[in-house]
Amino acid sequence: MSIVATGATGHLGRHVVEQLLEKVPADRITAVVRDEARAADLAERGVRLAVADYNSPETLGSVFSAGDRVLLISGNEFDKGRVGQHKAVIEAAKAAGVALLAYTSTPGSLTAALADDHRGTEEALLASGVPYVLLRNGWYHENYTENLAPVLEHGAVVQAAGEGRVSSASRADYAAAAVAVLTGEGHDNKTYELGGDDAWSFAEYAAELSRQTGKEIAYSPVPVETYTGILAGAGLPGPLAAILAGVDSSIEKGELVVSTGDLSRLAGRPTTPLADAIAAAVKG
């Protein structure tokens, strides 16, 4: 029996594997990757590698074994039919007789188009009969802190979220929740709504950036259409720009405020404050 993590060399997957290594022997971890070379360091530490691709169902047939606990990290290829990709993993896991399949979804309150693929995947997972856990991950700190250069250059946080608030947390926080589910008991067929302990507004985010950088940074709210154009102008494909701008519209409606406390309970600690994520980004 292995704990199997898909997308293991991705931003979230890396955190999951690193935290699994702190809790279980390396030879009980299988990292599913598309490029074996990117996981060479994990193999050196004793992690088993499986090379497979969501877009090639035939590569998934030998990845899973009976009794495995699986983490399906949602794909990021918005233009390749993510529900179909995820279904291929679910079907392979079902055929193998896995004991549990946890899926990284999105908050149940989110109505933006970004949620559509996640809802489709959730429906497929529940219909499969495989014991499941829905990890409905909220927004990541890193969605903002990893791209500070234009904010600092222009002295402005530009979003289309009005005065809406976000219960974001770090990738490491969400990874800790996933690891708790994969290594613990009593999570079968549960749904967890996950978000940071403290919701914040973009005005507060701009103020914290100002405090930590010593630069005057203001929050500049714009209409969704304007923000879509800004994202497209920065090089994002039009459909993806519209999806991301749509999330801001949901933020304005309060749909990314998650107040369940599920994330800190699963992680066994408070979630990472936004200020800490900003500090790490500014130093880095």
Q: Are 33 and 8 in contact (CB under 8 A)?
A: yes
| pLDDT < 50 regions, the chain | none
User: What is the Cα gyration radius of the chain?
Assistant: 19
CA separation for the pair 209, 155 (Å, rounded): 10
161-208: per-residue pLDDT in tens? 999 999 999 999 999 999 999 999 999 999 999 999 999 999 999 999
In a domain, 36, yes or no: yes
- List C-alpha distances in Å: 95 to 28, 35, 69, 92, 181: 20, 24, 14, 5, 22
Structure confidence at residue 176 (pLDDT): 98
Q: Which of 222, 190, 12 is nearest to 101 (CA)?
A: 190
CA separation for the pair 49, 33 (Å, rounded): 7
Neighbours of 94 (CB within 10 A): 15
**Total domains, the chain:** 1
In a domain, 62, yes or no: yes
In a domain, 156, yes or no: no
At 33, which amino acid appears?
A: V
CA separation for the pair 41, 44 (Å, rounded): 5
CA separation for the pair 104, 194 (Å, rounded): 10
Range of the domain at 19: 3-137+171-194+259-268
In a domain, 235, yes or no: no
Q: How much of the chain is helix, strand and coil, in % rounded to 5? A: 45, 15, 35
Q: What is the largest CA-CA distance in the chain?
A: 57
Structure confidence at residue 117 (pLDDT): 94
Q: Which residues does 99 contact at the CB level (< 8 Å), separation at least 6? A: 1, 66, 67, 68, 69, 131
CATH number where 19 lies: 3.40.50.720
In a domain, 152, yes or no: no
In a domain, 275, yes or no: no
In a domain, 153, yes or no: no
Model pTM score:
0.96
- In terms of Cβ atoms closer than 10 Å to its own Cβ (0-12, 13-18, 19+), residue 218 is middle
Structure confidence at residue 80 (pLDDT): 62
In a domain, 207, yes or no: no
